[in-house]
Structure 1
Amino acid sequence: MPLISIVTSCLNEEDNVEELHQRIRAQFEDRPGYDFEHLFVDNGSTDATVQRIKNLAAADSRVKLIVNARNFGHIRSPMHGMYEASGDAVVCMASDLQDPPELIDDFLRHWEAGFLIAIGTKPRTRETWAMAVIRRLYYRTLGRMSDVPLIPDYTGFGLYDRSVVEIVRKIDDPYPYFRGLIAELGINYACVEFEQPRRIRGITKNNFYTLYDMAMLGLTSYSKFPLRLATLSGFLLGGLSLLISLVYLVLKITFWNQFAIGTAPVLIGVFFFAAVQLFFIGLVGEYVASIHTQVARRPLVIERERVNLPDSPHLPRHSGQHHGSQS
């Protein structure tokens, strides 16, 4: 009987975890040929999320829980959950109910048809108009600049065969842009389109910093275009500066007494070139930070506690009620 692992990373989702598990369990009630496990990875919740998941785990051994020692971010925690899942296929999804559990049935049908990857794409969404436009513009722009063809309207929600999980594990990227990584593998995938619903309960954990972090990660991981743009801009602005200086020289020689340069052009030029320099220095800094993350090779997360899961055999146990592990 194939085992399907459902991995949901959560942070302060106490109002959603119970309904999420109920809806996931309902997807397998009409599929007796499958067994499933539901692995929650709590990323440092400060509300009652952990306790509610423990209550679910006490009533259903198929519910499993990893509690991180702190919030390790929206990229590392889901990847750790995927690696710790033991199913023949792994379904990764958010715990805020904006990734509909009802799509699991569609994913399984594509998996049965031979696809190693079945993903959910959201060409339509009920989020605010401004955010939808900004998000679509970013992904379209990144898709044009990327070195590999990225999947539009894809967030990572989908089913991944065990062989795909092992390939991703061997790549061993400590801070992966998962959406680009799946596209880079070149494995045929099936798309299931859906309309992303609004969040009903709780508040989104995405803020300007997390969205900016994801945007820069995608840019620095899969495009060299910004660096080349910086080089080309340097040549173009240098040529433009030389041309303007020659024009000013001719005008000053021709109209020596009447032509005055003034301070306004000088100030505008100084601020303009300073802004351009700071922008590209910051851009280069993003690439350097990405390299530093790769070189540092820090663990994805540090665990504080596990429920309904075996201990990691290669890691030391700590005394006391809770034991930590590093992965």
Structure 2
Amino acid sequence: MQRISIVSPCFNEEDNVTACYEAVKAIFDRDLPGYEREHIFVDNASSDRTVEILREIAATDPGVKIVVNARNFGVYKSTFNGLRHATGDATLCMLPVDLQDPPEHLPEFVKLWESGYDIVAGARSTREEGLVLRSARKAFYRIVNWLSEFELSPDVGEFQLVDRKVLNAVLSHNDHYPYIRGIIASVGFKKVIIPYTWKARKRGVSKHNLLMLIDQALNAIFAFTKAPMRFCTFVGFGIAIFSILFSLFSIIAWFMGVGDAPRGTTTIIVALFFLSGIQLLFIGMLGEYITAIHNQVRGGPTVIEKELINIGQENGFESPSRSGAVTSFPTRKA
């Protein structure tokens, strides 16, 4: 029997985890009876009853596996680490427990995967959200696709079913801050995109604020493109050429007696602030790359796991063959 793995990150989602579990289980019982279900919940150190509820679920259902982080490592790091625990023949990379990405599409995804597609990606063609956020997302995808060396399909997130070989290729990336949808797009393989409606959240409050979205966008740009540094090079070269030409023009004008070279405090102030702004912009871009490099070369685990539930390792401890995460506690069997 083939196994389908589903990874669901959560943080303070006591109102949603049960509904998510029941929705996925009902879909497998009704539409995917010939497949084994592996539902991995990755908890980011919730302070409410999320882990307690998941513990109760896992005690009665061995198909539910739980990773409890020692602290909140963010949704991408936690999800990427959860993918390391997936053992399925195909894996749904991210199904948030708020069910804004509808699990009802999973049977269709599995059918397409069985027909030969290595990646079945859901595209949020319709979003039940405000105009500002929709416009900002569209602008982001245009910028990334313009700057990157590969195409990041618009509106495609981590709601993707990937074959085992694709997941292995994704997990081979030793990335301190993994941008999962970008990594999946970069590895290639045969892909099909299925549009769907991204639903409004019914319960609870989204943990993604504007600053987190900006951080994720900058991570995508600086992780998968070299265009910002190219931009700095070309603009710097252009300003240098302009300065040389301006100097030559001033000297020639002086020798020909065609008036004095432009002078005045206004010109100096404008030029000074313009060049200072350009320098600060370029220093900021360099800082983004240096910070990313610094975090990468420091090494260390991407995520620290506090507890594993229904996830078996030999002798109850974390296998040393799996990089990127450290588990300091023995595995608990629910």
Q: TM-score, normalised by structure 1?
A: 0.90
Residue of structure 2 in register with 1:10 after alignment: 10
Q: Secondary structure at the match of 1:72?
A: coil
The size of the alignment, in residue pairs, is 320
> Residue 306 of structure 1: CA displacement?
1.6
> Residue 68 of structure 1: CA displacement?
0.3
Task: Give yes or no for contact 2:90–2:164 (8 Å, CA) kept in 1.
Answer: yes
| Alpha-carbon distance between aligned partners in 1 of 2:248 and 2:18, rounded to the nearest angstrom | 72
- Deviation per residue, 1:2-48 (Å, 9 max, x gap): 11111101111111111111111111112221110211000121222
- Deviation per residue, 1:213-251 (Å, 9 max, x gap): 222222122212111111110121223334455666748
| Alpha-carbon distance between aligned partners in 1 of 2:229 and 2:194, rounded to the nearest angstrom | 35
Q: Secondary structure at the match of 1:156?
A: strand
| Alpha-carbon distance between aligned partners in 1 of 2:304 and 2:327, rounded to the nearest angstrom | 13
Return 25-34 or 207-216, whichever deviates more.
207-216
Residue of structure 2 in register with 1:184 after alignment: 186
Matched, 1:45 2:41: no
| Alpha-carbon distance between aligned partners in 2 of 1:95 and 1:285, rounded to the nearest angstrom | 35
> Residue 260 of structure 1: CA displacement?
7.8
> Residue 173 of structure 1: CA displacement?
2.9
Q: Secondary structure at the match of 2:264?
A: coil
Residue of structure 1 in register with 2:323 after alignment: none
**Deviation above 6 Å: which 4+ runs of structure 1?**
none
Task: Give yes or no for contact 1:151–1:179 (8 Å, CA) kept in 2.
Answer: no
Q: TM-score, normalised by structure 2?
A: 0.88
Residue of structure 1 in register with 2:72 after alignment: 71
| Alpha-carbon distance between aligned partners in 2 of 1:265 and 1:248, rounded to the nearest angstrom | 14
| Alpha-carbon distance between aligned partners in 2 of 1:52 and 1:23, rounded to the nearest angstrom | 16
Counterpart code for 1:205 = K
Q: Secondary structure at the match of 1:184?
A: helix
Aligned CA RMSD, in angstroms, stands at: 2.4
Task: Give yes or no for contact 1:304–1:323 (8 Å, CA) kept in 2.
Answer: no
Counterpart code for 2:121 = I
Q: Secondary structure at the match of 1:46?
A: coil
Residue of structure 2 in register with 1:22 after alignment: 22
| Alpha-carbon distance between aligned partners in 2 of 1:7 and 1:260, rounded to the nearest angstrom | 65
- Of 90, 111, 116, which aligns to 2:118? 116
Counterpart code for 2:319 = H
| Alpha-carbon distance between aligned partners in 1 of 2:188 and 2:331, rounded to the nearest angstrom | 36
| Alpha-carbon distance between aligned partners in 2 of 1:298 and 1:211, rounded to the nearest angstrom | 25
Counterpart code for 1:27 = I
Q: Cα distance 1:51–1:313, how it changes in 2: closer, same or farther (>3 A)?
A: closer
Residue of structure 2 in register with 1:306 after alignment: 308
Q: Cα distance 1:173–1:279, how it changes in 2: closer, same or farther (>3 A)?
A: same
> Residue 324 of structure 1: CA displacement?
7.8
Counterpart code for 1:9 = P
Matched, 1:265 2:270: no
> Residue 58 of structure 1: CA displacement?
2.2
- Deviation per residue, 1:90-123 (Å, 9 max, x gap): 1122222111111111111111112121111112
Counterpart code for 1:266 = I
> Residue 194 of structure 1: CA displacement?
0.6
Identity %: 38
Counterpart code for 1:314 = S
| Alpha-carbon distance between aligned partners in 2 of 1:272 and 1:51, rounded to the nearest angstrom | 57
> Which segments of 5 or more consecutive residues in structure 1 lack a partner in the other structure?
none
Q: Secondary structure at the match of 1:123?
A: strand
Note the 1:65-104 alignment, pairs <5 A. 65-92=66-93, 93-104=95-106
Residue of structure 2 in register with 1:241 after alignment: 243
Task: Give yes or no for contact 1:149–1:183 (8 Å, CA) kept in 2.
Answer: yes
Task: Give yes or no for contact 1:142–1:219 (8 Å, CA) kept in 2.
Answer: yes
Q: Secondary structure at the match of 1:94?
A: coil
Task: Give yes or no for contact 2:306–2:327 (8 Å, CA) kept in 1.
Answer: no
| Alpha-carbon distance between aligned partners in 2 of 1:224 and 1:40, rounded to the nearest angstrom | 35
Q: Cα distance 1:287–1:317, how it changes in 2: closer, same or farther (>3 A)?
A: closer
> Residue 129 of structure 1: CA displacement?
0.5
